[in-house]
Every structure is written in structure tokens, then in C-alpha cells.
Chains A and B, each alone.
Chain A
Amino acid sequence: MSERSYWQRMSRKRMSRRGILSASARAGVGAAGLALVGCGDDDDDGQSVAQVQQQQQAMQQQAQDQAMQQQQQQAMQQDQHQQAQQQAMQQQAQEQSTQEQAEQQAAQQQAMVSEGKKYGGSIIEQSANVYETYDAQRTVASPVLQVLANVQSKLLRFENPNTGVLTGDLAEGWELPDATTIVLHLRGGVNWHDAGPGADHPSAAPGRALTPADIAWNIDRQRNKVLENGEEASNFGRSAYWGGVGSMDYDDVSLTLNLTEADATFVQGLANEFNLMNQPELVGGTEDQYTEVDASKVIGTGPYILTRWDPGEGISAVKNPNFYALPDKPYLDARVWVQTFQDPNAYRIAFEQKQVDFMSDPDPNTTLAIHDSLQDETYLTFQGVANTVAIFTPSNKAPWNDLRLTRAIDLAINRRQLIQQLHNGLGKVSGPVTWMQEAWAIPQEDLETFPGYRIDKEQDIEEARALWNAAGGPELGQIDWVTSELWASRSAWSATPGIVAEMFNQAFDTDQFNGITKPYLEIIPSWIAKDFDPFFSWIPNIEIPDARADMIGAFTTDAGSNYWEISDPYIDDTLNAAKQELDYETAYQMVREVQEYVMERGQFGRSICYNYIYPAIRYNYNHPQLSSPEEGWNFLPYSLNSVEQWVDLDDPSAEGRQPTAPVPL
């Protein structure tokens, strides 16, 4: 069975809405009706869980990774040939006259229309109201990117965020003359927006050409962490990444980054969704109000111009009439975001009455049930959540510095059970590299053979118990296992502290484990200080598909995120060599070997568990770039969809659509 059919079957055999209504009517009102609605949900859960238990294994073993491996191979081949292709493209572009380019663009557009992609229309989606700033360089909040990725540009973008295949954006080509040098060939004819609230801001320089100096300013700003007024700011989230740039040289058409040390992973970071380019004049002139979000503080070079950004009220953007990729892209005329629906009923009304084009309720069952009632008009997509779930054991301090205990904990974690209990089966187990970084991850069917990940959990538990007892686990007394308060504050996950504690108690046949909660405020500083209590929670988002950076950060001796104080010459040597390896096939192999090595040692206390999955429903007329798990898991898909998403307003499902008009230019 293919993975796609697995995910599609997730929602089948549900109680239809009309069934609920008629049942309610028959049974009367009040408590009887309530009970029926409740029973419907219960049934749904049971079926989903049963299906997942049986089918997830099959899914993990079969078609997915065959397809993924093919994609990986293609990606590798593409990457290896990318430089040559880019150079050829650049040379070709320069040689073409303007007329020839126009003819080519027209032909391409015609070809795309003939392939079924159409121009025009708009997309209306929900966005979580987590806009801590309008400056992508100073935030960790992904909803900020959901807006800005449509308005601003990066140097490169991912053609497929899962595999890491890159394509040009502000840089239309790039070269790696050696492992410490990146030469970016900048695209010509790129201008800052010349209309909209941002262009009207007194600090803005609307309509002028983007220059290499603009890009250098953005890089300098982040690597130095210094604002225009000379003050240092701690919230430049990518400062460590840009700190890898020792110096820059640029001329009118190219920018050369000289890295302080060889880093083959660096180039993917240029496509990191957070690395959007600000206009120096506007952002520099509004830095003192960087938390006060509105459309007048944003200007970009991207496919859309922001016309409204009122947090909590509404956001809209319209097609940039001067976007460099016109007339090919983008396909849509406008994008509108409405703010989070607090209640599934409102979201359901909005989606079913086609006031929004996309729906992904926090409760997957709601999403699946609605899809079930609208099967003819909608389809499901599945988005892997980049917030990896992990259990961290402080293996750097007693008593947990006994490798037997660390291994026992890693073995005792029942990852699949956690996915069932907390996410209704919607998720996949992750090794040291998450499954979403599919080119680098250990395939699911291989993962099932590793201790801690085995389908036969009894075998894991037997070994875990033996290690626990041998290392004197029963003499450790009461053990508080922390869950972050933020996690536990979500109603669906409120039982997590108890679930985690019970998981260990059962595995070790003890009652030593207690589930407690702590705020991130306590967890993160103690984690950074390497003096933390064992905990269960999310860990920082993965931001790029290349897993080497994460692995180096967590496992090498001097790495900033090595909170377990791991110091292993084999890991250091292998990962540092992988970091410099330009041949992806060799690098994959190196990372794979380290993953296996790490897993044999209980992941040294950094026990990655899983990444869960959110289902979403779209009407048939709504076409994102990656619409099925085979194509990709929509891991940070914003900039990809900003240019590639399209709608087919001739599709029957578009009938009765109620689009909200964007604020015009």
C-alpha cells in the first residue's frame, strides 16, 4: 500500500454529518444528542488508531522510501550538476536579447497553462497571530515567515524543502570554487517594491534597484548582531550561521562569501526561510519599533506587496507588478490571511462555506471529519511539523552519566505509543536526524531494526530493564521527569507528564518516575547551562534539510548545542569531515554512520522521538507546490508556495467560493 493511500484512508469510515444530524433528531435533544456527537468522535478515534497501528509499519517499510530514495538520488545528481547548470543558465540568459527573453517567458507561460497551471485568483488562509516582529531576521516565530516569505526574498530557495534541492532567488546562480568560498551571481533587474504602505514610509527607498551592498548589509547586521544605533541585539536568530562568514567581496553582479572554515552545509542556509532580505533604509529606520507590526514597516523584492498587516485583524498582499520572475510567476493575484479561529466550529463554517481555501484544525480529528464530509470537493495534504519531539537525559552529570542508564532510557521510550497517545497516530518516529530531512535520515524500515525503535517493543524493554537494574536504577529513588508547561498547557496533551512517567515506570517495572511540568523559562537556561533535569518537549525547529549542521551542533565536542558534553573523537572526526564534504553521497554515508554510532549509545541522552503530522484539507481548486507526501511534507513551504501555488477557478469545487478581497495597492 502506498503511503498516500495510507494517509487518505486515515479518515475513512467516519460518521457523516448528516448521520449525526439525523441521529440527533431521532434520539431527541439535550443529553442524548450530545452523547451521539461524542460517540461519533470516539468511533473515529478508535478507527484511526487501529489503522495507524497496522498501517504505519507497512507505510514505513514500503513505498515511501523507495520514492524518497529516488528523489534523494535525483537531488544529489541535481546538486552535483547544479553549478554547471546554473552557470550555463546565467551565460545563456546574458546572451539572450530582451526580445528573446520575452518570447521565452511567453512560451514558458503558455506551457505552464497547458500543463494545467493557471494564473489569477487569490488564496485565503488562516495564520496564527504570533507576529512578534515584522523583521524575519529577529524572530523565531514561523507565522511571521508565512507572511514575509511572500513579500521578501532570499538568496536561494528550496525547490523541494525535504530533499534540499536548491534553486535561485536573488542569486540566480552560485559556485563553490572551494569549501570555504561561495560566489553568488546576483540576479539583475530586481527592484524594491515601489508601491504599498511600505513604499510610503518616510524611511523607505521605494523602487530602487536591489544592490549587492543591500545583501552585504543584511549579512553584516546579523553576523555582528548590531543595530543601526550601534546597540547590540540578542535576537538575531541566525547570527551564528552568518558568523561563519569571515569576509565578503562584491561587485555589481556578484557577491563572494569567504567562510571562516570549510562548511559544505552553508549553501543550504542561504535558502533558510528566516534568511529574508530587508531593505536597509526601511528596517534600519524602524528598528526601534521592531515589535510594532504593521504593513508600513515592510518592503521587499518578493512576488507580493504587503497591503495590510494588522495583527489580530487581517493581512493581505497583492501581486508585485514588477516582480523579477514576471510574467511566469507568481500565479496568484493576491493572498489574504485571516487570524486564528479559536473554535473549530468557526473554522469549519469558514472552510465549508469557502470563505477560506485551506483548513488544518489543531485537532486532527476535526480536520479528517470535515474532509470526510466533503470528499468530492477536497483532498487531504499532510504537513510534517518541524518542531521535533525529544526526551533529554542529562548524561553529562551523575547519575545519568552512566551510559547504561542513558541507553536504558532511550530503549524504554515507546515512540510509537507516544505518537498514538498524543497525536492519534499522526506522526513518524525520528532518529538522530528527523525523518523530515529525508535525504539524511535513516529510512523508517531501517530504523525499525535499531534498539529503541524496534516494532517488537518487548525486546527493547527487556534490554532496557536489564541495563536499568545493572546500573543501579532502582536505587536512584524518585525521579522527576519534566514536561514543558507550554506543551502540557495544550488540552490534548495535558496528560503528557503522567504518560511519560508511566511509560518509564512500566518499562522498568517501578514507580520511581513522576511527571512534573516546568516553564521554558526554567528549562532553557538550565539546558544551556548544562545543568538540566530530564525533560520531554519540543526542541528547536529544523530550519534546513541538510542535517549536518544539527548533528555537528549536538554531538561534536566544542559545539554550542552539545548540552550533554559529548566528546568522542570518532564523532568529531567524522562529522567535521562530513561538514567539508562537497559530495553529497559521501556526506550522507558519513552522517548515517554517526547516527548508527550514536543510537548504539542511547543517543548520548539526546533521544529524538518523533515528528508529528498535521493533516490539512484543501479544495480541489487549491494547488500548492507539494500536494502529497510523495512530493514532500511541506516543511517550511512558505517561499516555495509564494511563487508556485495556483488556483483553478474553473474547477467545480470553486463554485460558491466567497473570497475576501485583499486591501488593494
Chain B
Amino acid sequence: MQGYIIRRIIGAIFVVFLAGTFSFFAIRILPGDAASAALGLDAGSASAEQIAERRAEYGLDKPLATQYGNWLWDTIRLDLGNSFTNRANSVWYEIGRSLPYSIELGVLIVIVGFAVAFPVGLLSAIFQDRWIDYTLRSLAILALAAPVFWTAAIASLFVLEWELFLIDVIGQPHIWENPKDAITWYLIPMLAGGFAGTAATMRLLRSQMLEVMRQDYVRTARAKGLRESVVIIRHALRNALLPVLTVMGVTVATIIGSQVILENMFNIPGIGNLIISSLFERDNPVFQSVIVLIAVFVVFTNLVVDILYGIIDPRIRLS
């Protein structure tokens, strides 16, 4: 097990390195120079000296290999530098300011997702091929088919048209500061993101439940005279959850992908918003650092899931 974990950690570090390298070159390949892009529409008014001075300040006047080497060394030392856009702020400050919002939204999406997926998947399996199963499966397909941005946009239009509640995109309250305003702000993104994440989990759980329910040990449990609820929850669900656990790592990546869209749609100043703004503003240090951060998070979440899976199911560990 120890060797397995070490091998996986080495692999994870390599993946993070590749993601960082990709982000470093990707933002430089894109049209638009960072020194000019930072000036927006007014770039055409800048003199060559001003642009050159700015490039020198950013270190963009150095050869690409030197820039890459500097970035790599600084990143290893966790020295992420300062933002190109908000030059008074370090990248760590920008990340620190954004991360709580993303964590809040991410947790809410996960809660919604699993709160819906588990009962729905369970009910669908229990009432297989009955109207409730068809209805729930149709809803799951709908959630899979509807892109998260569409669901969120339509929901926003409904809220605006019927003036249902305030979506405080300016105040940007944290849940611990102003729970009421924060929840109404997060409501649409957490539901849209949660439903989108629900579908795959729900369908997987249903199929696993159906498979497990046909197993001999479930039949045995029933034959022993156990209550149906005990059979389902203690014997069937626990075993059906194992494959679900394996997709959790993928689900995390999906949720982060949704968050990039949802944070921008609702002006949530989280990590997803930071990625987009840093990309448009060619804020190289912020963009590269956030990509690395997300890569670290996704890779190590998957690693933890794999390790947990090995712990829960010894057959995996042995193989």
C-alpha cells in the first residue's frame, strides 16, 4: 500500500507539473500581449516605451526559456509573485480572496448534488420500471442534457421577470456574514450546479443498486427476515456506494468546471471568476497559479479517493 501511495504521489506531482507547464505556454500562445492587454481599449494610446517598460516590469522581455525557468523555480518555492492587473496584490492575496467563495459555492453544490442524487437514485432502483422510476430517470436525463449555463440563465430570467428575490451580485456577502443574502445569491448557481452534478451520480447509483439487489447476499438478508429498509440501507446501499465513490474524483472536476461558468454568471468572485478575468486580462501569474492550484486539488482529490477505495475494498489494494 505504501509503495502504491508513493507511486501515485509521484504521478500526481508529474500531472501538476504538466498542467502548470501547459498553462504557462497556453496563455502565451493566445493572441494579445500581456503588457498591451492590461491597458484594454487604451492599448493603442500607449507608447512603445510604455509597453516596453511594462514588459520589462513583468519579465516578459526575457527569453521564453528564462521566463519558464523562473516561473518553475518560483512556483516550487511557492513564490507566485504579484498580479499583473492589481499590481499591489500578491497572487496569494488574490487566491486567498477568491477561495472562500469557491469553497462556499462548491460545498453547496456538493450538498445539493448528493442530497438529490442519493434519494433519487435509491427510489429509482427500488421502484424499478414503475412510473416513479421513469419520472426520476427522465429528470436525470434532463439534468444531463441541459447545460449548466442554460439552466442558470433561464432560472435567472424567471427570478428577474417575476421579481422573486434579490440576487446580490454587488454586495457579494459570505454566508457567515449575511446568510440570507448569501443564500439567495448562491441559490441558482448551487441548484444549477447541483442538478448537473446529480445526474451522473444518480444514474450510477441506480444501476449499482439494481445490480447489488440481485446479489445472493441480499437475497440471503431478505430470507433471514430482515426489514426491507435494513436490507436496502445496510446491505445493498453500502456496497452500491463503492463505485460511486470512485466517480467522486471526476465529479469534483466537473463541479469546478461548472463553477467557472456559474461564478462568472453570478459575479461570484471565486477561483472560477479569477481564471476568466486573469485570462482576459492576460494576468499570467494569476492564471498560471490558479491552474496549478486546481490541478493540485483535482489530482489529490482523486488520489485520496483511490486510496480510500483501496482501504474500503482490500481487493483493489491487493491487485
Contact = CB atoms under 8 A, between A and B. Distances in A.
Contacts of A131: 86
B154 A21 contact: yes
Given A17-B160, A345-B266, A538-B41, A520 B36 contact: yes
Interface residues of B, number: 62
A471 interface: no
A20 B161 CA distance: 11
B53 A660 contact: no
Interface residues of A, number: 67
Nearest to A528: B48
B5 interface: no
Contacts of A528: 47-48
Contacts of A235: 47, 49-50, 53
A294 B43 CA distance: 22
Interface stretch (A261-269, A336-344, A430-438): A336-344
B142 A355 contact: no
Given A129-B281, A355-B168, A355-B170, A140 B51 contact: no
B50 to A, nearest CB: 5
A562 to B, nearest CB: 16
Interface string A520-533: 11001100100000
Interface in B235-282: 264-267, 269, 273, 276-277, 280-281
A489 B32 CA distance: 6
A540 B87 contact: no
Contact of B160 (A33, A291, A352): A352
B146 A29 contact: yes
Contact of B33 (A31, A294, A485): A485
Contact of A519 (B33, B145, B150, B264): B33
Interface in A370-411: 385, 387
A34 B145 CA distance: 11
Residue from A293, A353, A528 with most neighbouring chain B CB atoms (10 Å): A353
Interface string B141-168: 0100111001011101110110000111
Contacts of A29: 142, 145-146
Nearest to A658: B166
Contacts of B280: 342
Given A30-B142, A342-B280, A345-B153, A517 B89 contact: no
B85 A343 contact: no
A29 B144 CA distance: 11
Nearest to B273: A342
Given A350-B267, A486-B43, A31 B145 contact: yes
A343 B265 contact: yes
Given A342-B273, A519-B36, A387 B44 contact: yes
Interface string B51-75: 1111101000000000000000000
Interface string B127-150: 000000000000000100111001
Contact of A140 (B31, B46, B153, B266): B46
Interface in B269-319: 269, 273, 276-277, 280-281
A33 B39 CA distance: 38
A112 B32 CA distance: 48
A349 B266 contact: yes
A625 interface: no
Interface string A536-556: 011111000000000000000
B216 interface: no
B156 A540 contact: no
A234 interface: yes
Interface string A26-43: 000111011001000000
Contact of B32 (A21, A485, A658): A485
A141 interface: yes
A434 to B, nearest CB: 14
A539 B161 CA distance: 42
B171 A488 contact: no
Contacts of A368: none
Given A130-B42, A524-B47, A660-B171, A293 B33 contact: no
A142 B51 contact: no
Contacts of B171: 355, 660
Contacts of A341: 169, 267
B262 to A, nearest CB: 9
Contact of B48 (A141, A346, A525): A525
Given A17-B157, A234-B53, A345-B156, A486 B267 contact: no
Contact of A353 (B50, B94, B145, B167): B167
A521 B281 CA distance: 16
A486 B43 CA distance: 8
A352 B161 CA distance: 9
Q: Which of B57, B166, B170, B281 has the most CB of A within 10 A?
A: B170
Contacts of A355: 168-171
A30 B146 contact: yes
Given A21-B158, A31-B145, A349-B266, A520 B43 contact: yes
A392 B269 CA distance: 41
A293 B146 contact: no
A528 B146 CA distance: 52
Contact of A349 (B45, B169, B264): B169
Contacts of B87: 132, 291-293
Q: Which 9 A-B pairs have the closest CB atoms?
A: A292-B88, A346-B267, A538-B44, A485-B31, A489-B32, A519-B33, A140-B45, A540-B45, A234-B49
22 contacts: A33-B146, A128-B40, A130-B38, A130-B39, A130-B85, A132-B38, A140-B43, A143-B40, A234-B49, A235-B50, A338-B170, A341-B267, A345-B156, A346-B169, A349-B167, A352-B160, A356-B170, A485-B36, A489-B37, A520-B33, A520-B46, A528-B47
Given A345-B266, A537-B44, 18 more contacts: A37-B150, A130-B85, A132-B54, A140-B45, A143-B40, A234-B50, A235-B53, A291-B57, A311-B86, A345-B264, A352-B160, A353-B167, A486-B32, A519-B31, A519-B33, A520-B36, A520-B44, A540-B45
